[in-house]
């Protein structure tokens, strides 16, 4: 890489460190359906098919099959989220959309072979997160006389930003390769507009409108890959929960006095080179939101907010199936497509509180490409769309459900990703033989 290129790369990494946690929402709860343009174009499939430095975020074991490269990318994320309410007495009735429609989610990675059987690498990436913001809408509910806002307390919304720094070591033993990756995480959390819940909080002074609170934490990511035949591979990876510091500014809202870890997950899949130029991938991923009480506890629990075992968002675990196809159409051009389906983590009984966290999408359709502009540089592009999904249920007030009411929360998503990959070894082997 030239001196000018190194300066550009250093500047880009610095900018990314400052913005890596600026995500919005994601397709798998608050997880992204893939990091970087390659994974995004495959709808997150590829745990058994490492092709670039960001592959370590799916399966650390695959890094041993990646050449020395530097990868930089960014996604523009367009969520459309909102709710429609009828017959409510507390939640503002009518149709209301969340504002702030555009978010930037960056990523960067570097991979370095050590020898023919081992490699190391590092990746910095954002995890999507959650974001909603409803202006101080008119509220005609008779339970909030003289007050406006979704929950009778002016502008309302929530924000969860997450960024990860992952260092990876991978080594192969014949057909088996293993990878290990300690992960550091940064998390920011904020909520506003929940003042009407203060009387039902274990710590009313630390419930809402306290600005952003930051936390750091750590976890472990590991994986294995088995090349059963030259054309068929199996991959398995998983991550422990990322154990985070408590969110002290909101310990009167989040169950267990502000405990807010990032859930663990597992990913398993296969990759088959159906032809020298065509690879098909099938992955399963499970995300264990049930291990985070602030997210998983039902919202109708009759305990104060913030208490041990207190109310949460009522999310269930998310189970994801992703199918991807990669066609190396020419030595300089690779085309990708993918589809993903998952269950909805939000139950109808919990829809009221999930107005500020409507993680309800259940499918994703994606496409992408990589074009090698020179012996060293590749441009990567990808896009996906998640159709709108609604989840409906009765209004739940701090005193119980409202008869004959209905709240329908909805979400749709679109994302465009662009990336640049610099291959230090311009003679790096090409997977397909043309």
pLDDT at 192: 96
Residue 344 near residue 317, CB atoms below 8 Å: no
Higher pLDDT, 22 or 145: 145
pLDDT at 128: 62
Burial zone of 138 (CB within 10 Å; 0-12 exposed, 13-18 middle, 19+ buried): exposed
pLDDT at 20: 46
pLDDT at 426: 61
pLDDT at 12: 41
**Shortest CA distance to 266 belongs to which of 31, 80, 26, 40?**
31
Q: Does the domain made of 3-423 have the CATH classification 2.40.33.10?
A: no
How far is Cα 272 from Cα 249, in angstroms, rounded to an integer?
Answer: 49
What residue ranges do the domains of the chain occupy?
3-423
pLDDT at 32: 83
pLDDT at residue 430 is higher than 90? no
- Strand-pair partners of 176: 173, 226
As a whole number, the mean pLDDT across the chain is 90
Query: What is the band of 428 on the pLDDT scale with cuts at 50, 70, 90?
Result: very low
Query: What is the band of 147 on the pLDDT scale with cuts at 50, 70, 90?
Result: confident
Residue 45 near residue 324, CB atoms below 8 Å: yes
pLDDT in tens, 294-340: 999 999 998 999 999 999 999 999 999 999 999 999 999 999 999 99
Q: In the predicted model, what is the mean pLDDT of residues 228-242?
A: 97
pLDDT in tens, 356-394: 989 899 999 999 999 999 999 999 999 999 999 999 999
Q: In the predicted model, what is the mean pLDDT of residues 155-181?
A: 96
Query: What is the band of 219 on the pLDDT scale with cuts at 50, 70, 90?
Result: very high
Higher pLDDT, 399 or 229: 229
What's the Rg (C-alpha) of the chain? 22
pLDDT at 110: 98
Residue 281 near residue 325, CB atoms below 8 Å: yes
CA distances from 63 to 41, 49, 241, 306 (A): 19, 10, 22, 41
Q: In the predicted model, what is the mean pLDDT of residues 66-91?
A: 94
pLDDT at 427: 52
**Shortest CA distance to 190 belongs to which of 177, 207, 175?**
207
pLDDT at 397: 86
The pair of structure tokens assigned to 406 is 């209905």
Q: Compute the 3-state secondary structure of the chain and give helix, strand, coil in percent, each to the nearest 5.
A: 15, 50, 35
How far is Cα 50 from Cα 58, in angstroms, rounded to an integer?
Answer: 9
Higher pLDDT, 8 or 195: 195
pLDDT at 25: 52
Residue 322 near residue 33, CB atoms below 8 Å: yes
């Amino acid at each position: 890489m030239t001196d000018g290129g190194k300066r550009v790369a250093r500047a880009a990494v610095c900018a990314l460190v400052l913005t890596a946690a600026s995500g919005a929402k994601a397709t798998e709860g608050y997880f992204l359906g893939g990091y970087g343009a390659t994974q995004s174009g495959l709808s997150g499939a590829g745990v058994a098919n490492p092709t670039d430095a960001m592959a370590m975020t799916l399966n650390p074991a695959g890094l041993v099959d990646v050449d020395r490269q530097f990868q930089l990318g960014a996604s523009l994320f367009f969520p459309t989220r909102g709710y429609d309410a009828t017959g409510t007495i507390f939640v503002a009735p009518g149709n209301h959309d969340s504002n702030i429609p555009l978010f930037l989610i960056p990523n960067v990675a570097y991979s370095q072979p050590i020898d023919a059987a081992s490699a190391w690498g590092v990746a910095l990436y954002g995890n999507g997160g959650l974001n909603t913001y409803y202006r101080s809408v008119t509220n005609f509910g008779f339970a909030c006389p003289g007050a406006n806002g979704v929950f009778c307390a002016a502008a309302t919304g929530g924000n969860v930003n997450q960024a990860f720094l992952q260092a990876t070591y991978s080594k192969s033993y014949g057909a088996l390769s293993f990878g290990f990756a300690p992960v550091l995480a940064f998390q920011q959390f904020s909520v506003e507009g929940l003042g009407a819940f203060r009387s039902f909080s274990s710590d009313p002074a630390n419930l809402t409108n306290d600005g952003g609170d930051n936390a750091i934490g750590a976890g472990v990511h590991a994986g294995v890959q088995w090349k059963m035949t030259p054309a068929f591979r199996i991959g398995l990876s998983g991550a422990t929960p990322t154990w985070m510091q408590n969110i002290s500014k909101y310990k009167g809202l989040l169950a267990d006095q502000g405990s807010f870890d990032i859930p663990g997950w597992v990913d398993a899949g296969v990759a088959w080179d159906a032809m020298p130029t065509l690879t098909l991938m099938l992955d399963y991923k499970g995300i264990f939101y049930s291990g985070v009480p602030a997210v998983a506890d039902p919202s109708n629990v009759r305990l104060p907010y913030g208490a041990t075992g207190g109310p949460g968002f009522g999310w269930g675990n998310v189970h994801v199936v992703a199918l991807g196809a990669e066609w190396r159409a020419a030595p300089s051009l690779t085309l990708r497509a993918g589809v993903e389906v998952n269950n909805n983590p939000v139950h109808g009984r919990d829809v009221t509180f999930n107005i500020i966290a409507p993680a309800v999408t259940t499918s994703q359709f994606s496409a992408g490409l990589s074009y090698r502009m020179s012996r060293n540089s590749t441009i990567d592009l990808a896009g996906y769309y998640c159709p709108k999904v609604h989840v409906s249920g009765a209004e739940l007030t701090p005193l119980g459900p409202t008869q004959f009411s209905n709240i329908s929360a909805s979400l749709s998503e679109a994302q465009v990703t662009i990336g640049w990959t610099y291959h230090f070894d311009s003679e790096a082997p090409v997977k397909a033989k043309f």
